[in-house]
Amino acid sequence: MPKIYTDDERENIRRALRKEAGICLRQYGVRKTTVDEIVRRVAIPKGTFYLFYESKEALFFDLLENFASEIENDYLSMLQEIDENHIVTSLTEIFLSLTMRFYDEGLYRFLDGAELSLVLRRLPSGSLPDLRARLEDVINRLFSYFYIDDKEDIKAFGAGYEGILYLLLSYDRLREKEKAVRLLIRGLVLQMVE
């Protein structure tokens, strides 16, 4: 008979599964990450994993969706509390934090179409366009917070930021990694606030 978990236990297990999936994603990628590795790290039986997710791909997709929700909540509220006297520095730190979180959780690997297609092959059709539209909407709302009226400018800043995210695919080969990313983000921020 399967164990019955409380709501808190279920949420804690989901959180632990997402965390370890992100670590595995960053270290190994989608193909080399196994359900066995994830459950070993979380210290739950393999059968318990399948009470939460149909597959590792469903877990990776949940990781992406959860990231989009957290961006919406965390970073939009950070922007509302920004130090107006140090706007460039504050914005640079906020976007650097977001970028490094995208890296630390392994999500940058989905910028590689091959990794993303491995996840999508096991998901219901239509999942990606919804998520992609949601992520684009959140990023656009982050940039529209700066009262940029021209939608084309918002798209351009979003594309510029996306370009910085693509840099994460080669992040480990960069010298002065964090400084380089910080400098690029600062340049984008300076363009936004001018």
- Evaluate if residue 15 carries a pLDDT over 80: yes
The structural domains of the chain, with segments of one domain joined by +, span 55-193
The answer to whether 13 and 44 have CB atoms below 8 angstroms apart is: yes
pLDDT digits (tens, 9 = 90+) for 138-169: 777 776 666 566 777 777 888 888 899 889 98
Question: Which residue, 74, 59, 91, is CA-closest to 186?
Answer: 91
**Whole-angstrom Cα distance, residue 86 to residue 109?**
33
Higher pLDDT, 115 or 170: 170
Per-residue confidence (pLDDT) for residue 96, from 0 to 100 = 93
Mean pLDDT of 82-107: 87
User: Could you give the CA distance from residue 37 to residue 19 in angstroms, rounded to a whole number?
Assistant: 13
CA-CA-CA-CA torsion sign (169, 175, 177, 183): negative
Instruction: Tell me, letter by letter, the H, E, C secondary structure of 145-157.
Output: CCCCCCHHHHHHH
The model's pTM is 0.81
Q: Is the pLDDT of residue 191 over 90?
A: no
Condensed to tens digits (0 to 9), the pLDDT of residues 79-94 reads 778 777 888 888 899 8
What is the reported pLDDT for 162? 86
**pLDDT score for 72:** 78
Return the higher-pLDDT residue of 112 and 33. 33
**Is residue 181's pLDDT more than 90?**
yes
**Of the listed ranges 22-36, 136-150, 176-190, the one predicted with least confidence:** 136-150
* Spatial distance between the Cα atoms of 89 and 93, rounded to a whole number of angstroms: 6
| Residue from 54, 59, 53, 58 nearest 18 by CA | 59
Higher pLDDT: 30 or 146? It is: 30
Report the topology of domain 55-193.
Tetracycline Repressor; domain 2 (1.10.357)
Q: For 34-76, what is each residue's pLDDT tens digit?
A: 999 999 999 999 999 999 999 999 999 889 888 888 887 887 7
DSSP, residue by residue, 79-146: HHT--GGGHHHHHHHHHHHHHHHHHHTTGGGGGSHHHHHHHHTTS-TTHHHHHHHHHHHHHHHHHHTT
